[in-house]
Amino acid sequence: MYYQQEEQFRYHILAMQRAGNRELTVQLKELDLTPSQAEVLTVLNERSMLTLKEIGQHLICETGSPSRLVNTLVKNGLVEGKTDEQDQRARRYRLSNQGKQKCTAVKQIEDRLYKHIQSIYTEEELKILNQLFTKYIEQTDFHSVFRKRSLYEGDPDSGEL
Amino acid sequence: MYYQQEEQFRYHILAMQRAGNRELTVQLKELDLTPSQAEVLTVLNERSMLTLKEIGQHLICETGSPSRLVNTLVKNGLVEGKTDEQDQRARRYRLSNQGKQKCTAVKQIEDRLYKHIQSIYTEEELKILNQLFTKYIEQTDFHSVFRKRSLYEGDPDSGEL
DNA sequence: CCCTTTTACATGACGTGTCATTCAATTATA
DNA sequence: TATAATTGAATGACACGTCATGTAAAAGGG
């Protein structure tokens, strides 16, 4: 068969994403959160007072402007927004106290996921995988997201220009 | 940072899936198909006269019973279904002539994707990636899907038990 | 300063993914 | 053979992810 490895690769990526997302969905259900909502909380926990557009630039789960996603969190009292004083169009968002609490709970659940990953791959294998992934990601819009989120280095502020 | 590689891995998987899906979505738009719809066509092209449940067992894009997905294709004239004679509950689906035509067009688009993947990774790297992915997939429900779809061997019938 | 263009966001639309519920056909069981 | 349990599928519900459109604020050009 032509492209056998390529086809396998393509469906592997899809399956891995689906599997991971389901795992997270189940775990996060006890917090009444979806994986996407949890990612927003994580982003706002790292860098507060972001506009919608900025939040979008830090999300891997979604490209465009995550209006609905963030507004759901506002409605649920986890995030609060204020109109930007310089720009009346923009709103700046931050975690509420309840949101901060949720966020620590989210971290525990993420740790479970990371431990699961650790149980499957050695640190050496993960490095190989991530290195190869980077070759792909570099060619996509996501590259800047990873930099902004500081997901490449252990250093938690190198993405902030 | 704890779990740095694991976190990167997790988001890499998400980003790769999103990037690939967007690429496919754009390409398939000229056929008026979505990636999920294209996967159903591909499955029915490999093995015809499947029930909804069986189609679901061959799909990586979706778990449950893909009623709506398949019915959209029926409505668009790409797939036709007949009630199973042994089991009045079940319907058996196959590609219409129009569906078969679409399917060859889909293959060309998939080939473009595979060539893109080839342009990023060597065959050796793909083998390493797929081998590592398999370690993960083996622990999920998707393992049987890959076997049924014969995505593991070049042999196009080994999954049929 | 007015007018055009751009920008930030909201919203409608559409097709998923996922789960729960419902319904009818089939199988198992008492 | 009645009846109960199971199964295949349809459907409602909900939250996405993506695109297109609309609206108001801001920026830019004359």
pLDDT for B10-46, tens place per residue?
999 999 999 999 999 999 999 999 999 999 999 999 9
Closest chain B C-alpha to A120 CA, distance in angstroms: 7
Helix, strand, coil tally for chain B in percent (to 5): 60, 5, 30
Measured between beta carbons, the chain A residues lying within 8 angstroms of B151 are 7-8, 11
Nearest nucleotide to A33, CA against C1' atoms: D15
Q: Does B157 touch chain A (CB under 8 A)?
A: no
Calculate the alpha carbon distances from A135 to A9, A23, A151, B120 in Å.
14, 26, 15, 7
Q: pLDDT class for B157, splitting at 50, 70, 90?
A: very low
Q: pLDDT class for A160, splitting at 50, 70, 90?
A: very low
d(CA A139, CA A136): 6
Q: Name the residues contacting strand C (CB < 7 Å).
A: A 18, 21-22, 25-26, 51-54, 64-65, 67-68, 70-71, 84, 87, 89-91; B 21, 34-37, 61-64, 68-69, 72, 86-89
Q: Does A114 touch chain B (CB under 8 A)?
A: yes
Q: pLDDT class for B159, splitting at 50, 70, 90?
A: very low
* Predicted local distance difference test score (pLDDT) of residue B154: 55
* Predicted local distance difference test score (pLDDT) of residue A154: 55
Q: Crossing angle of helices B4-29/A97-120, nearest 10°?
A: 90
Q: pLDDT class for B153, splitting at 50, 70, 90?
A: confident
- Pairing verdict, β A79-83 and B79-83: unpaired
B159: nearest Cα among A87, B151, B142, A156: B151
CATH 1.10.8.60 for domain B4-146, yes or no, is no
Beta pairing partners, B95: B79
Residues sharing a CB contact under 8 Å with residue B118, sequence separation 6 or more, in sequence order: A3, A6
Q: Which whole number is the average pLDDT over B86-114? A: 96
Identify from B1, B2, B3, B6 which residue to disrupt to test chain A contact, counting A C-beta atoms within 10 A and taking the largest count: B6
> Is residue B138 pLDDT above 80, yes or no?
yes
The separation between CA B111 and the C-alpha centre of its own chain, rounded to angstroms, equals 14
Helix, strand, coil tally for chain A in percent (to 5): 60, 5, 30
> Are residues B11 and A149, on separate chains, in Cβ contact within 8 Å?
yes
> Are residues A110 and B7, on separate chains, in Cβ contact within 8 Å?
yes
Chain B segment 12-31 residues within 8 A of A by beta carbon are 12-21
Q: Which whole number is the average pLDDT over A69-78? A: 96
- How many Å from the CA of A88 to C1' of D28? 18
Q: Does B64 touch chain A (CB under 8 A)?
A: no
Domain limits of chain B?
4-146
Q: Which whole number is the average pLDDT over B105-109? A: 96
Q: Is B10 helix (H, G, I), strand (E, B) or coil?
A: helix
- How many Å from the CA of B76 to C1' of D10? 19
* Predicted local distance difference test score (pLDDT) of residue A156: 44
> Are residues B20 and A7, on separate chains, in Cβ contact within 8 Å?
no
Closest chain B C-alpha to A40 CA, distance in angstroms: 13
Residues sharing a CB contact under 8 Å with residue A139, sequence separation 6 or more, in sequence order: B120
* Percentage of chain A exceeding pLDDT 70: 94
Nearest nucleotide to A68, CA against C1' atoms: C10
Topology of domain A8-115, CATH: Arc Repressor Mutant, subunit A (1.10.10)
With residue A127 as reference, give the H or E element that holds it: helix A123-137
